[in-house]
Amino acid sequence: MNTEWQKLYDLAMAVINPHEISKQMYVGSVAAAVLTKRGNIYTGICIDTSSSLGLCAERNAMSTMLANGENEVEKVVAVYKDGTVMAPCGACREFMMQLGENARNIEILLNNDGKSMSLSELMPEYPY
């Protein structure tokens, strides 16, 4: 893993804090870090609920990015509480693709060995 990925990984791991909010909500077992084209980094945690209203860490981080007026992502990393790098789920991939045509170039870390792929490689049939 190169130094840029390591920095994103470390920032994501820093916000891991698994805990129960209520009997219906558990948060923080997955975290993500998003690097924008402007060089800013946003983090987020997963919000798991007993219904389908939860939110993945990647979309949580990108929501914060959007709230701060940015919409161009360079890199994304998501990690589980044990430190394992995770690929984004289908909903997160779709969300990222909808950021615009340049989203196809978002680089995503896929494992702890430093393997990465572009979003378009993970979504080869997307219409962009």
> Count of H helices and E strands in the chain?
4, 7
User: What is the spatial distance between Cα 122 and Cα 90, in angstroms, rounded to a whole number?
Assistant: 9
pLDDT band at residue 43 under the 50/70/90 scheme = very high
pLDDT band at 53; cut points 50, 70, 90: confident
Confidence (pLDDT) at 125: 86
pTM of structure: 0.93
- The fold of 3-120 is Cytidine Deaminase; domain 2 (3.40.140)
For residue 32, give both structure tokens: 């993500």
**What is the distance between the alpha carbons of residues 90 and 22, in angstroms, rounded to a whole number?**
27
The arithmetic mean of pLDDT across residues 49-66, rounded, is 94
Q: Give the tens place of pLDDT for each residue, 64-103.
A: 999 999 999 999 999 999 999 999 999 999 999 999 889 9
- Extract the runs of DSSP E, i.e. beta strands, from 40-127: 41-49, 73-80, 85-86, 107-109, 116-118
**Tokens 């009997």 — which residue?**
23
Helix, strand and coil content of the chain, in percent to the nearest 5, comes to 30, 35, 35
Which pLDDT score is estimated for 101? 85
Could you tell me what percent of the chain has a pLDDT over 70?
A: 99
Q: Cα–chain-centroid distance for residue 105?
A: 15
Give strand ranges (E) for the chain.
19-22, 25-36, 41-49, 73-80, 85-86, 107-109, 116-118
Over 90: is that where the pLDDT of 117 sits? yes
**Average pLDDT of the chain, as a whole number:** 95
pLDDT confidence band for 58 (50 / 70 / 90): very high
> What is the domain partition of the chain in residue ranges?
3-120
